[in-house]
Chains A and B, each alone.
Chain A
Amino acid sequence: MKFPAFKYLRPSSVAEAAAQLAEHGDDARLLAGGQTLMPVLAMRLAEPEVLIDLGRIENLRGIALEDDALRLGAMTRYVDLERSALVAEHAPLITRALPYVAHVAIRNRGTIGGSVALADPAAEMPACMLALGAEIELTSTEGNRWIAAEDYFLGLYETAREDTEILTAIRIPLAPERRVGFYEVARRHGDYALAGAAAVGDVEDGRIQGLRVAMFGCDDLPVLAKTAAKAAETGVLDGAWLEADVSPTSNINGEAHIRLAQARVAFRRAVTDLLGVSNG
């Protein structure tokens, strides 16, 4: 379980990294916190020729409040998000979800950009980005572009990021009245979810409006449960309509209908969490 040999590059600016990526394309892998890529390399599931380590690019780190959004540098570690008062105030869904992301040692190194770039369908952060309506910044030598999370996640570990692009930042629109809810079903604390839901929405007179619920761990990619969310706005909280939104398949964790049942529970509990009522 040793890495194959590769060329190691450690750029000190985004421009330098983008140039290196432009040169090597899909022969290169970008190294962020390494919490997935390092074991993947060690098990030789990937054998890139070039590894571009983003760890020394200072301005990829940090949390900043902009006029209408909270900006998260791609190389911001989970632990920094977890401890951030800005995140707690402006994106409390992230603060709620972070304790479910693996374990302390992993959160000390893992980064938000790494997780969103990998797009593991059972991971918490991609789903949170979807629920929050985040925008994702992709940078290449050609310049940068912003893409909505809804357009970014395309399939199993598949995103709209081109091989020559670096995920450089995430912008979360400010919505002061918004409430959040989160629930995940996992076999052990810190495991990838069997099913999970991240919810945001407004509550007025006990009614939910503008509900966005991102499901994770129950399909090939994080999915906005639009049908079930619409039903929830009319008072149907139990995720009865969820199968219109997600299609879990039978796998080692259970048959499809069992996994769908778990997804429904996660949906309902996230929404009741958002409503602030007991999570029965």
Chain B
Amino acid sequence: MSIAATNAPIGQSERRTKAKRLVTGRGRYTDDVTARRVLHAAFLTNPFAHARILSIETEEAAGLPGVERVFTGPDIADACNGWTGNHDLFPKLDSPQQYPLAVDVARWQGEGVAMVVAETRAIAEDAAALIDVTWEELPAVADPVANLEPGATVLHPGKSDNLALELRLGTDAVDAAFERSTLVLEESFRFGRHTGVPLETRAILAEFDPSEQRLVIHQSHQAPHQQQELFARLLDLDEQNVRIVCPDVGGAFGIKLQFSGDEAAVAVAARILGRPVKFVADRLESFTSDIHARDHQVSARMGFAVDGKITALEVDDIYAIGPYSIYPRASIMEGNHVMQLTAASYTVPAFRGRSRIVYQNKGLMGHYRAVGQPLGCAIGEVLLDRAARKLGVDPVEIRRQNYADLSAGPVTSSAGVALEGLVLHECLDTLVERMDLPELRAEQTRLRSQGRYRGIGIAGFIEQTGPGPNYYGKGGIPVSAQDGCVVRLEPSGKARVFSGATDQGQGADTAAAQVVAAALGIQADDVRVTLGDSEVCPYGGGAFASRGTSIGVEVAWRAGRRLRSQILELAGALLQCDAEALDLRDGQVIELATSQARFSLEDVARIGHFRPYELPEGFQPMMSAVEHYVPRDKPTVVGNGIQGSYLEVDVETGIVSLLNHWVVPDCGFVINPLLLDEQIRGGVVQGIGGALFEELVYDDQGQLLTATMADYLTPMAAEIPDIDVTRIEKPMGDKTLGAKGVGEAGTAGAVGAVLCAINDALVPLGAGIAQTPCTPARILTAIEQARNE
């Protein structure tokens, strides 16, 4: 399966196959799916951060015309098994049992407490307002630092404290290394709580047929096979009788990767009522009940020798999660990434890391695009810049001299990340060239003399993508690390692909069409890709951790190659020649020796499907091929990349204007340059959101203050600069296509690049900032503090 064999349309900028349909309004999202006699759900949610439910009166609500049924937490719990967001690799994590709706005690503002199912959503909302709950408000656990102190209010009865789990890495040798350091820098970083804000909110339509005990769910989700397993498990159904269909999904970013209580309640209601039930989260519900991410307070220390070489690193993280660890994937990974990916591309001789994961009466914490990677990147790069300034070393040089030395082969970082096949120096050199750094510096200096404060930031990052089965498999979590793919030759000589990968806008389907087309010698338009149906598609993991291309497209390539072999066998049988002597090109079967077309692919396909009697006796034409692929040789595909930011800070108002942004990603082998670049750009925009705008702000009573699009500020087109992408293409080897995932690369580096640039701009004022988002008030406060010092 050598790379040399790949040909067009691999490597071409094919447009997304779905784009025209979606932009002309013909998308079919979950809310567009209808069912006869469908009912609509609305939830009464917990208005407090933490409250005991003393009683729930539903009679008035149930009596409203058009209301089918009102369910309380216990009603639903009676018909649904509970779950815990635990992970077998971390046995000390003992997250309490959770049910679809709160039972007795509600533990975050926005948690579902009761559900009305009615003829329309409006009636359901009218009825929800009539439910009378008697609450006993309980103290909110809403300050992760204070809540770790002895004597703090404990969120879960029966537990001794609010610490869900403590992760540790590295060794105490770090202490001696700090003592020997010429320079030790220390900083407390704070990263605000985010969420992903997909355009299409979470949505589900559940239909239950009691005659077959069959549950069919349409859901806006990233991982249909995971959902199939979970719905079967929690509702005690046979897995083969549960079908999860994810139609068009309008963005996901990790927000649609976990299991949601409200969605479980909808499935239970459909089963009990024997009628379809639909729920589409509104934006308010999204902010309070979608998964959240980030929310870390990190004390970091970095030691340096006089020449700028890193001597030691300590990362001490407090990770504020929700009242439970998220189900099914557990709220752990982000703490791990913060520790492991700080300064991960550099040689760090001594390292110690700790992440304390703390229960909070706030929204549940899941895995949002780049899961902790932007934080680790930002911490390391900000400290490196500060060291460069203190030691008088050029910021580019300090990076260059600290890069891990991979010349003798792979190395493992002190924090345990296997660094292999990276292109650190090449990315950095390319970035410096693309930015025209000397000219930018000159402009910056010139403008500073005019009282204008521009900043330049550079941030390199390490990504762990396309994971193998170790983390979830060994964790006892039913998440598939493999994808299956079926390629079927149609009588027309064109093809269908059914894959266990999924697509929420990334273009995984387009890339799959390209590799299958290349394998069969046809055009990408000749291939139709079906994804996101747990019944029809081969089992797979769906979309997470930038796995779509490195796993999902890899398996499509393999299945395409297998079908190609089968077609050549068939053609060889027809031509009475060796399959090896034939090739598929431009929809034709070609004889290699003469380069002559002998049959069209359509002719061969029609014989295979309709006229197999033309084949030698006993020959069975194989018109479909299936392959499965799971990365076995390493835990993840590690990639790297670097980003640059150029911006201006208005030091009077605190407003940051982004002027330019550059990305140099290590892409491995590139299937589709257009989609790759746009994936990077989209990721950068979400990173910029985290750096400057987006924050879920809770007050000290655990009330969410930013639950509308007017308060939770997502980046808009007007704020985004040009994003220049320069790909570094270096296939990983000859066992696979060698594509690296880049879905998270944009997000992973953008926060660090912008944060470094803002700090660079503030240098003349003696100010620095280590908190995201960098709001105008925070920037002005930093300047004010520097002035007062």
- Contact surface of A with B, Cβ cutoff 8 Å: 1-5, 39, 42-44, 185-192, 194-195, 252-255, 258-259, 261-262, 265-266, 280
Judge whether B719 and A253 touch: CB under 8 Å.
no
B233 at the interface (CB under 8 A from A): no
Partner of A189, one of B129, B285, B718: B718
Partner of A262, one of B653, B710, B784: B653
Judge whether B284 and A187 touch: CB under 8 Å.
no
Q: A1-B282, A252-B705 are in contact. Are A265 and B652 (CB under 8 A)?
A: yes
User: Which residue of chain B has its CB nearest to the CB of A255?
Assistant: B777
The CA-CA distance from A2 to B719 in the complex, in Å, is 32
User: Which residue of chain B has its CB nearest to the CB of A184?
Assistant: B653
Contacts of B705 in A (CB 8 A): 252
Partner of B780, one of A42, A189, A261: A261
Query: Can you offer 22 A-B residue contacts whose CB atoms are under 8 A?
Result: A5-B122, A39-B708, A42-B282, A43-B284, A188-B713, A188-B716, A189-B716, A190-B716, A191-B710, A194-B653, A194-B776, A252-B697, A253-B775, A253-B777, A254-B775, A254-B776, A255-B781, A258-B784, A259-B777, A262-B652, A262-B654, A265-B653
Judge whether B775 and A1 touch: CB under 8 Å.
no
Contacts of A254 in B (CB 8 A): 775-777, 780-781
B386 at the interface (CB under 8 A from A): no
Contacts of A255 in B (CB 8 A): 777, 781
B753-789 contacts to A, CB under 8 A, are 775-777, 780-781, 784
Q: A1-B282, A2-B125, A252-B706 are in contact. Are A187 and B697 (CB under 8 A)?
A: no
- Contact surface of B with A, Cβ cutoff 8 Å: 120-122, 125-126, 129, 282-285, 451, 652-655, 693, 697, 705-706, 708, 710-711, 713, 715-716, 718-719, 775-777, 780-781, 784
A187-B776, A254-B780 given; name 12 further pairs at CB < 8 Å.
A43-B708, A187-B655, A188-B718, A188-B719, A189-B716, A191-B710, A192-B710, A252-B711, A258-B777, A258-B784, A261-B780, A280-B451
Judge whether B283 and A1 touch: CB under 8 Å.
yes
CB proximity of B519 to chain A, nearest CB, Å: 45
Partner of B781, one of A252, A258, A266: A258
Contacts of B713 in A (CB 8 A): 187-188, 191
Contacts of A195 in B (CB 8 A): 653
Contacts of B708 in A (CB 8 A): 39, 43
The 3 closest A-B pairs by CB, nearest first: A254-B777, A1-B282, A2-B122
The CA-CA distance from A7 to B761 in the complex, in Å, is 56
Judge whether B777 and A44 touch: CB under 8 Å.
no
Contacts of A265 in B (CB 8 A): 652-653
Judge whether B777 and A190 touch: CB under 8 Å.
no
Judge whether A187 and B126 touch: CB under 8 Å.
no
Contacts of A266 in B (CB 8 A): 653
Judge whether A187 and B775 touch: CB under 8 Å.
yes
The CA-CA distance from A279 to B710 in the complex, in Å, is 28
CB proximity of B235 to chain A, nearest CB, Å: 28
Contacts of A185 in B (CB 8 A): 653, 655, 776
Judge whether A188 and B693 touch: CB under 8 Å.
yes
User: Which residue of chain B has its CB nearest to the CB of A4?
Assistant: B126
User: Which residue of chain B has its CB nearest to the CB of A250?
Assistant: B777
Contacts of A5 in B (CB 8 A): 122, 126
Contacts of B776 in A (CB 8 A): 185, 187, 194, 253-254, 262
Judge whether A44 and B697 touch: CB under 8 Å.
no
The CA-CA distance from A261 to B283 in the complex, in Å, is 34
User: Which residue of chain B has its CB nearest to the CB of A102?
Assistant: B710
User: Which residue of chain B has its CB nearest to the CB of A185?
Assistant: B653
The CA-CA distance from A253 to B654 in the complex, in Å, is 11
User: Which residue of chain A has its CB nearest to the CB of B784?
Assistant: A258
The CA-CA distance from A130 to B660 in the complex, in Å, is 39
The CA-CA distance from A266 to B655 in the complex, in Å, is 12
User: Which residue of chain A has its CB nearest to the CB of B716?
Assistant: A188
User: Which residue of chain B has its CB nearest to the CB of A254?
Assistant: B777
CB proximity of B715 to chain A, nearest CB, Å: 8
Q: A189-B719, A262-B654 are in contact. Are A2 and B777 (CB under 8 A)?
A: no
User: Which residue of chain A has its CB nearest to the CB of B777?
Assistant: A254
Partner of A258, one of B122, B126, B282, B780: B780
Contacts of B781 in A (CB 8 A): 254-255, 258
The CA-CA distance from A221 to B655 in the complex, in Å, is 23
Judge whether B122 and A3 touch: CB under 8 Å.
yes
User: Which residue of chain B has its CB nearest to the CB of A195?
Assistant: B653
Q: Which of A5, A42, A261 has the most CB of B within 10 A?
A: A261
User: Which residue of chain A has its CB nearest to the CB of B120?
Assistant: A2
Contacts of A262 in B (CB 8 A): 652-654, 776, 780
The CA-CA distance from A261 to B784 in the complex, in Å, is 11
The CA-CA distance from A231 to B288 in the complex, in Å, is 47
The CA-CA distance from A189 to B719 in the complex, in Å, is 7
Contacts of B451 in A (CB 8 A): 280
The CA-CA distance from A97 to B677 in the complex, in Å, is 37
Contacts of B693 in A (CB 8 A): 187-188
The CA-CA distance from A190 to B775 in the complex, in Å, is 16
CB proximity of B265 to chain A, nearest CB, Å: 18
CB proximity of A4 to chain B, nearest CB, Å: 7
Q: Which of B282, B285, B451, B780 has the most CB of A within 10 A?
A: B780
